[in-house]
A = this chain, B = another copy of it.
Amino acid sequence: MDVRTLCLGALMGGEATGYEIRKMFEDGPFSHFQIASLGSIYPALTKLTQDGLVTFVEHEQENRPDKKIYRLTSDGRQKFIRTLLQNRPAEDRYRSDILFTLTFAEELPIELTEALIDEFSVRYETMNNLIDPNNPDKDDCASGPGRDDDGNIKPGCKFVAGLGQAMCDATVKFIKDNKQDLIKDLKTFKSNKS
């Protein structure tokens, strides 16, 4: 899904700055299943403004660029819903440098392999906490789309967050159950190659 559509989605929950939209994707409600960087968010917002799908209000700031607060127009909201209804969603895409590296574990020092696996596990525990809708450390952007007026998480977001957490749990559990066997097998593999 292109970044203009992602930005429209980000604004479905209310107004936001470009910086806030980026936060939604970096460690907010979209962080575990979409990616959008500043390098594409600002051009996308510019394009959406030109197309009449969003509008913005500017607030002067001292010593900083003026703050631009974007919101959807009626056309923008309709365009977004239409896009969700009509477009066939692309295949999921997953990239993992650690998993790629572990594919070649036999060529690596066992200490590095252990360190990579531990780093991988920590990252997924951290992500689990980030996803958790009940996480008290979470500072959801007020304009995030996932909560209704009473602050309750919406069913769709709850489902998606739950699924994200299930993936994280499974990852951490698999590592807990299988790391030592891997280390053992690697030692055997290496001694057989000597």
Contacts and interface: CB of A to CB of B under 8 A. Distances in A.
Given A95-B34, A95-B35, A156 B100 contact: no
The DSSP consensus for interface residues of chain A is: helix
Given A94-B32, A167-B171, A171-B167, A116 B100 contact: no
Interface residues of A, number: 65
A105 interface: yes
A38 interface: no
A84 B119 CA distance: 15
Contacts of A85: 108-109, 112
A33 B94 contact: yes
Interface of A: 1, 6, 9, 12, 29-30, 32-35, 81, 84-85, 87, 89-109, 112-113, 116, 119, 123, 145-146, 154-160, 162-164, 166-167, 169-171, 173-175, 178, 182, 185-186, 189
